[in-house]
Amino acid sequence: MKYQILSIAAIVILCSTFIAIRANARPKKPSRNTTMGIVAHRGFWNCDQAGYAKNSIAALRCAQENGFWGSEFDVNMTSDGELIVYHDSKIDGKLIEKYPYSEFKDVTIANGEKIPTLDAFLEQGKKYPQTMLVYELKPHSCDEVEDRFIDLTIAKLKEHELLDPERVMFISFSYHMCKRLAAELPGYTVQYLRGEKSPAGVKRDGINGIDYNYKIYNLSPKWAAKAKKLNMSTNAWTVNKEENMLQVIDHGVMYMTTDEPLKAREIISREGLEELK
Ligand code: MG
């Protein structure tokens, strides 16, 4: 019995080591593109000018001023339908979708800004038409709430004259929201984030892009090329180390989402790729 347990433990350790190695391996046959776009993850927050505040208006402004291809941000909805730019589903232990905006309106983030409303955020977004707004819709509790969230998103983008596939694209871990956005807004880029579905499966459901953790592209080294063949857009998150940036470049992923956009810029240039702006 003792030996059986030891053998099972050894197999489990071997398998997980093998998966960990594969998840971090460079592809055997690189299929590089000639271009790569940088998406600043939660804005370019990792600098003095942004006060190191993720999802702040200052971080969006820094991404815009530095000319990165895109700036990513996370959106949640309060119970009374205010859309706010914030990553977590809870603030001070309160589930955002269950409380009205008045509960959160005075909460400040790392650089002293109030948590931005989507309205304030889009006002800054408007100022630099060349920066793609990479809008992440955070999953909510059920399809009905998520549908309301999508309706409000579309209305807000219209109101701010940003409902334009050249200005905004959508990402989400919610497959329901990706499918609905793709159906409602043909011609817009929608990328699914979770990583458990093949590009062909995602495409079959009408979604035209994937944005997967960089390890997924290492574990399924044909997926980036497969997605390209299917005319889908590809993005990888959150790629912060040089070795992982090189893997993503070798796989031929189109965009990389990173907390280190200046490092990504340096590597893209050093590797001889043209940086999309
Ligand atoms: Mg995000």
Strand partners for 234: 210
Q: Is 26 left (phi over 0), alpha (psi -120 to 50) or beta?
A: beta
Q: Taking the CB of residue 6, how many other CB atoms lie within 10 A of it?
A: 10
Q: How far is the CA of 74 from the centre of ligand 1 (A)?
A: 5
* Domain boundaries, given as residue ranges, for the chain: 29-276
Q: How far is the CA of 190 from the centre of ligand 1 (A)?
A: 14
Mean pLDDT of the chain: 93
Q: What is the pLDDT of residues 259-271, one digit of tens each?
A: 999 999 999 999 9
Q: How far is the CA of 135 from the centre of ligand 1 (A)?
A: 8
CATH topology of domain 29-276: TIM Barrel (3.20.20)
Which residue has tokens 């329901």? 176
- pLDDT of 18 reads 54
Q: How far is the CA of 265 from the centre of ligand 1 (A)?
A: 20
Q: How far is the CA of 4 from the centre of ligand 1 (A)?
A: 44
Q: How far is the CA of 41 from the centre of ligand 1 (A)?
A: 7
Strands (E), the chain: 35-40, 70-77, 83-85, 90-91, 94-95, 132-137, 168-172, 190-192, 209-213, 233-237, 255-258, 274-276
- pLDDT of 17 reads 54
Q: How far is the CA of 173 from the centre of ligand 1 (A)?
A: 9
Rounded Cα–Cα distance for residues 23 and 28 (Å): 13
Q: Which helix (H) or strand (E) holds 216?
A: helix 214-219
Find the Cα–Cα–Cα–Cα dihedral 147, 132, 204, 150, rounded to 10°: 0
- Block mean pLDDT (10 aa), the chain, length 277: 57 54 67 95 97 98 98 98 98 98 98 98 98 98 98 98 98 98 98 98 98 97 97 98 97 98 98 96
Q: How far is the CA of 73 from the centre of ligand 1 (A)?
A: 6
